[in-house]
Amino acid sequence: MLPMKKKWSKLLVFCALAVSAAAMADEPPAGAVVAAPVTAAPATPEAPDPSGYQLQPGDMLTVTVWKETDLQGDVLIRPDGGLSFALAGELHAAGHTVAELTAMLTERIRKFVPDAVVTVAVKAASGNRVYVIGKVTHAGDFALSRPIDVMQALSLAGGATPFADTNSIRILRRDASNHQTSIAFRYSDVEHGRNLDQNILLQSGDTVVVP
């Protein structure tokens, strides 16, 4: 019996050494820097633009009411800023976002169609325009379909002519109370990367005057 016990003892010692060696193989060497496990951060959705596109006179909209074939069609925002739509009557749309106008239409139409689902889409954004006049290659009005600054507006107009005083450019802006302000713009400053704050984003109705 004694030789059998010795064999079992040797076998147990061998197993213990094997387990110990395996554990040591998983451990990093002394002095090594162990990187913490990386956990992917959850994706953060981009915040929506709080301002949105503001509707203007001249914009063409497409208004539809789900499952109501008689309540759909193109609607033009009149020069006074208003529009007319069946069951909703007269609404002032200019200055409102598409979401705001949708909510206004929904509130009125649901008085007659309780479960109405209203959709408003801008078919043609013709109302938001800026104007470039004076000594430029192509003076005129330009659709403000995206935000543009003064330099971009001058580019749309083909740039200034050789005799233009580009350091005396003015931007004329009228506010809601019909008060007009004049904003100075020096082309050479912006061209050389100086005083870039004056290269402002234009608003609908702004007029860039190039003397």
Please identify which residue in the block is written with the tokens 């074939």: 69
Q: Are 191 and 169 in contact (CB under 8 A)?
A: no
Q: Does domain 129-210 have CATH number 3.30.70.2610?
A: no
Measured in degrees and rounded to the nearest 5, phi and psi for residue 35 equal: -80, 135
- Could you tell me where in the chain the CATH 3.30.1950.10 domains are found? 60-124
Identify the band that residue 46 occupies on the pLDDT scale cut at 50, 70 and 90: very low
Domain 60-124 belongs to what architecture?
2-Layer Sandwich (3.30)
Q: Which has the higher per-residue pLDDT, 7 or 105? A: 105
Q: Which two tokens stand for residue 161?
A: 């002519």
Sequence-distant (6+) residues with CB within 8 A of 40 are: none
- Could you tell me where in the chain the CATH 3.10.560.10 domains are found? 129-210
pLDDT surpasses 90 at 27: no
Sequence-distant (6+) residues with CB within 8 A of 43 are: none
DSSP letter string, the chain: -HHHHHHHHHHHHHHHHHHHHHHHHHSPPTTPPPPPPP-PPPPPPPPPPSS-PBP-TT-EEEEEETTEEEEEEEEEPPTTSEEEETTTEEEE-TT-BHHHHHHHHHHHHTTTSTT--EEEEEEE--S-EEEEEESBSS-EEEE-SS--BHHHHHHHTT-B-TT--GGGEEEEEE-TTS-EEEEEE-HHHHHTT--GGGSPBP-TT-EEEE-
The model's pLDDT over 83-135, given as tens digits with 9 standing for 90+, comes to 999 999 999 999 899 999 999 999 999 999 999 999 999 998 888 889 999 99
The model's pLDDT over 149-189, given as tens digits with 9 standing for 90+, comes to 999 999 999 999 999 999 999 999 988 788 999 999 999 99
Measured in degrees and rounded to the nearest 5, phi and psi for residue 88 equal: -95, -20
Q: Which has the higher per-residue pLDDT, 45 or 174? A: 174
Identify the band that residue 18 occupies on the pLDDT scale cut at 50, 70 and 90: low
Instruction: Say how far residue 27 (Cα) sits from the centre of its chain.
Output: 50
Q: What is the pLDDT of residue 178?
A: 83
pTM for the predicted model, two decimal places: 0.57
pLDDT surpasses 70 at 38: no
